[in-house]
Amino acid sequence: EDVTLQLKWVTQAQFAGYYVAKDKGFYEEEGLNVTILPGGPDVAPTQVIAGGGADVVVDWMPSALAAREKGLALVNIAQPFKSSGMQLTCLKESGVTTPADFKGKTLGVWFGGNEYPFLNWMGKLGLKTDGSPDGVTVLKQGFNVDPLLQKQAACISTMTYNEYWQVIDAGITPEQLVNFNYTTEGVATLEDGLYVMEDKLSDAAFQDKMVKFVRASMKGWKWAEENPDEAAMIVLENDETGAQTEAHQKRMMGEVAKLTAGSNGALDEADYQRTVDALMSGGSDAVITKAPEGAWTHAITDKALQ
Amino acid sequence: MKDTINLGQPVIAAQGLNLVFQTNDGPVHALKDVDLTIGKGEFVSFIGPSGCGKTTFLRCIAALEHPTGGSLTVNGMTPDEARRKRAYGYVFQAAGLYPWRTIAGNIKLPLEIMGFPRAEQEARVERVLDLVDLKGFGKKFPWQLSGGMQQRASIARALAFDADILLMDEPFGALDEIVRDRLNEELLKLWARTGKTIGFVTHSIPEAVYLSTKIVVMSPRPGRITDVIDSPLPRERPLDIRDTPEFIAIAHRVREGLRAGHSYD
Amino acid sequence: MKDTINLGQPVIAAQGLNLVFQTNDGPVHALKDVDLTIGKGEFVSFIGPSGCGKTTFLRCIAALEHPTGGSLTVNGMTPDEARRKRAYGYVFQAAGLYPWRTIAGNIKLPLEIMGFPRAEQEARVERVLDLVDLKGFGKKFPWQLSGGMQQRASIARALAFDADILLMDEPFGALDEIVRDRLNEELLKLWARTGKTIGFVTHSIPEAVYLSTKIVVMSPRPGRITDVIDSPLPRERPLDIRDTPEFIAIAHRVREGLRAGHSYD
Amino acid sequence: MIARGRGPLPRWLVPALFGVTLLVLWELVVRLFAVSPVILPAPSAIAARIAGSGPTLWADFVQTGLKGALTGWLIGCAAAVAAAIAVDRSPFLQRGLLPVGNFVAALPIVGIAPIMVMWFGFDWQSKAAVVVVMVFFPVLVNMVAGLKATDAMQRDQMATWHASYWQTLWKLRFPAALPFLFNGLKIATTLALIGAIVAEFFGSPIVGMGFRINASIGQLALDMIWAEIAVAAVAGSAFYGLVAQIEKRVTFWHPSQRRQ
Amino acid sequence: MNRVLPILTVVAAIVVLWYGAAVAMNRAWVLDQAARAGTEPPAFGQMVVATMTQERPVLPAPHQVVAELWKGVAGQAITSKRSLVYHGWITLSATLLGFAIGTAAGIALAVGIVHNRAMDMSVLPWAIASQTIPILAIAPMFIVVMNSMGVQGLVPKAIISAYLSFFPVVVGMVKGLRAPDAMQLDLLRTYNAGGAAVLGKLRLPASMPYLFASLKVGAAAALVGAIVGELPTGAVAGLGARLLSGSYYGQTIQIWAALFAAAIVAAGLVAVIGLVERVTLRRMGMAR
Ligand SMILES: Nc1ncnc2c1ncn2[C@@H]1O[C@H](COP(=O)(O)OP(=O)(O)OP(=O)(O)O)[C@@H](O)[C@H]1O
Ligand SMILES: Nc1ncnc2c1ncn2[C@@H]1O[C@H](COP(=O)(O)OP(=O)(O)OP(=O)(O)O)[C@@H](O)[C@H]1O
Ligand SMILES: Cc1ncc(C[n+]2csc(CCO)c2C)c(N)n1
Ligand SMILES: [Mg+2]
Ligand SMILES: [Mg+2]
Query: Model ipTM?
Result: 0.83
Q: What ranges do the domains of chain E cover?
A: 4-59, 84-283
Ligand 4 centroid, distance to B54 Cα (angstroms): 6
Q: Quick one: how many helices (H) and strands (E) in chain D?
A: 12, 1
Residues framing ligand 3 (Cβ under 6 A):
A 8-9, 14, 41, 110, 112, 114, 143, 159, 162
Q: Is the pLDDT of residue E286 over 70?
A: no
Q: Using an 8 Å CB-CB cutoff, list chain B residues near C170.
A: 147, 174
Place D70 in a pLDDT band, splitting at 50, 70 and 90: very high
Size of interface B-C (CB pairs under 8 A): 114
Taking an 8 Å cut-off on Cβ atoms, the answer to whether D1 and B66 are in contact is yes
Q: Per the CB < 8 Å rule, is D253 touching C99?
A: yes
- B265 pLDDT above the threshold of 60: no
Average pLDDT over residues B63-87: 85
Q: Between chains, do E231 and A146 touch, taking CB under 8 Å as contact?
A: no
CB A257 within 8 A of CB A228: yes
Q: Whose CA is nearest to atom 29 of ligand 2?
A: B51
Calpha distance D170→D133 (Å, rounded): 26
Other Cβ atoms less than 10 A from the Cβ of D10: the count is: 15
Cα-based angle A85, A89, A90 (whole degrees, multiple of 5): 170
Going by alpha carbons, the residue nearest to atom 31 of ligand 2 is: C145
Decide: B42 and B213 in contact? Cβ < 8 Å.
yes
Report how far residue D188's alpha carbon sits from residue E221's, in angstroms, rounded to the nearest whole number.
Answer: 11
The CATH number corresponding to E84-283 among 3.40.120.10, 3.80.10.10, 1.10.3720.10, 1.10.1200.10 equals: 1.10.3720.10
The confidence score (pLDDT) of residue D105 equals 64
Q: pLDDT tens digits for A105-147?
A: 888 888 877 787 888 888 778 888 777 777 888 888 877 788 8
pLDDT number for residue B5:
43
- The response to whether residue B49 sits with its C-beta less than 6 Å from ligand 2 reads no
Q: Which ligand is nearest to the CA of B22?
A: 2
Pairing of strands B214-219, B197-201: unpaired
Query: Considering chain A, what percentage of its residues have pLDDT values greater than 70?
Result: 98
- Cα atoms in the Cβ-side hemisphere of radius 13 Å centred on A30: 25
User: Beta-carbon neighbour count of residue C265 at 10 Å?
Assistant: 9
Q: With the C-alpha atoms ordered A10, A12, A17, A21, is the resulting torsion angle positive or negative?
A: positive
Pocket test for ligand 3, best of A8, A114, A159, A239 (most atoms within 8 A of CB): A114
**DSSP summary character for residue A76:** E
Tell me the CB-side half-sphere exposure of residue C10, using CA atoms within 13 A: 13
Q: Do at least 3 CB pairs under 8 Å connect B with A? A: no
> Residue C104 above 90 pLDDT?
yes
Q: What is the mean pLDDT of chain E?
A: 82
| Cβ–Cβ < 8 Å for A80, A260 | yes
Residues ≥6 apart with Cβ < 8 Å to C84: D162
Cα–Cα distance measured from residue E256 to residue E272, given in angstroms and rounded to the nearest whole number? 24
* Non-local CB neighbours of A220 within 8 Å, separated by 6+ positions: A16, A17, A18, A19, A20, A21, A22, A24, A26
Can you tell me whether residue B35 is helix, strand or coil?
strand
Whether D205 maps to a domain, the answer reads: yes
Contacts of residue D18, defined as CB under 8 A and 6 or more positions apart, other chains included, come to E122, E126
Determine the pLDDT at residue D10.
60
Are the beta carbons of C208 and C218 closer than 8 angstroms?
Answer: no
Tell if the CB–CB gap between D1 and B143 is shorter than 8 Å. no
The shortest C-alpha distance from D161 to chain C (Å) reads 6
Rounded Cα distance between C36 and C225, Å, is 9
Question: Within 13 A of D33's CA, how many CA atoms are on the CB side?
Answer: 12
- pLDDT tens digits, E191-232: 888 888 888 888 998 888 889 888 988 998 888 888 887 776
CA nearest to D176 within chain C? C100
Distance CA E192, CA B82 (A): 9
Q: How far is the CA of B19 from the centre of ligand 4 (A)?
A: 15
Are the C-beta atoms of residues D221 and D53 closer than 8 Å to each other?
no
Q: Cα(A59)–Cα(D220) distance, rounded to whole angstroms?
A: 14
Q: D217, E219: Cβ pair inside 8 Å?
A: no
Is the model's pLDDT at B37 over the cut of 70?
A: yes
Which residue of chain B comes nearest to E201, CA vs CA? B109
If one counts the domains in chain D, the total is: 1
**Other C-beta atoms within 10 Å of D240: how many?**
25
Instruction: State the Cα angle at D124 between A107 and A142, rounded to 5°.
Output: 45
Instruction: Please indicate whether, in this complex, the C-beta atoms of E285 and B99 are within 8 angstroms of each other.
Output: yes
**Structure confidence at residue B125 (pLDDT):** 93
Contacts of D91 (CB under 8 A, 6+ apart): none
Tell how far the Cα of D3 is from the centroid of ligand 4, in angstroms: 25
The residue with greater pLDDT, E288 or E78, is E78
Domain positions in chain C = 1-87+164-265, 97-162
Q: What phi, psi does B145 have (nearest 5°)? A: -110, 155
Mean residue pLDDT across chain D: 82
D36-49 residue pLDDT tens: 777 778 888 889 88
Q: Report the b/e string of E27-59 with b at 16+ CB within 10 A.
A: bebbebbeebeeeeebeeeebbebbbebebbbb
- Which residue owns the Cα nearest ligand 2 atom 7? C144
Chain D, window 132-151: residues with a beta carbon less than 8 angstroms from a chain E beta carbon: 137-138, 141-142, 145, 148-149
Task: Indicate which residue's Cα is closest to atom 7 of ligand 3.
Answer: A9
Taking a 5 Å cut-off on Cβ, the residues next to ion ligand 4 are B 55, 93; C 146-147
% of chain B with per-residue pLDDT over 70 = 95
Contact D218 A129 (CB under 8 A): no
Probe residue for ligand 2, chosen from B28, B57, B262 as the CB with the greatest number of ligand atoms within 8 Å: B28
The secondary structure element, H or E, covering residue B22 is: strand B7-23
CA dist E250 and E160 (Å) reads 27
Give the DSSP H or E segment for D54: helix D54-61
**Which pLDDT value is given to residue E98?**
92
What secondary structure letter does DSSP report for B143? G
Closest-CA distance, C177 to chain D, in angstroms, reads: 27
Q: Among E32, E84, E26, which residue's Cα sits nearest to residue E55?
A: E26
Beta strands in chain D (DSSP E): 204-205
Q: Does the pLDDT at position E103 exceed 90?
A: yes
The whole-number average pLDDT for the span D57-65 is: 88
Query: Could you give the 3-state DSSP secondary structure of residue A37?
Result: strand
Selecting from D121, D202, D215 the residue whose C-beta is nearest the C-beta of A112 gives D215
**Is-contact B3 B39, C-beta < 8 A?**
no
Ranges of H-type helices in chain E? 4-37, 44-51, 62-73, 84-115, 117-132, 135-148, 154-177, 182-190, 195-197, 204-206, 208-230, 239-248, 252-283
Reported as a single tens digit per residue, the pLDDT across E127-185 is 888 887 777 667 777 777 777 677 777 888 888 889 888 998 998 899 889 888 888 88
- Mean pLDDT over all residues of chain C? 85
**Confidence band of C4 (pLDDT split at 50, 70, 90):** very low
The mean pLDDT value of chain A amounts to 83
| Residue B26 CB neighbours (<10 A) | 8
More confident residue, C210 or E139: C210
If you average pLDDT over residues A35-59, what whole number do you get? 83
Percent of chain E with pLDDT over 90: 8
- What are the residues whose beta carbons fall under 8 Å from the beta carbon of D78, sequence distance 6 or more? none
Using the predicted structure, report yes or no on whether residue C175 has a pLDDT greater than 70: yes
**Among A276, A254, A266, CA closest to A194:** A266
d(CA A275, CA B118): 83
pLDDT given at position E235: 55
Query: If you average pLDDT over residues E96-113, what whole number do you get?
Result: 92
CATH number of C1-87+164-265: 3.40.50.300
Q: Closest Cα partner for B39 from B196, B172, B151?
A: B196
- Residue to mutate (ligand 1; options C18, C19, C21, C204; most atoms within 8 A of CB): C21
- Give me the pLDDT at residue C5, please: 43
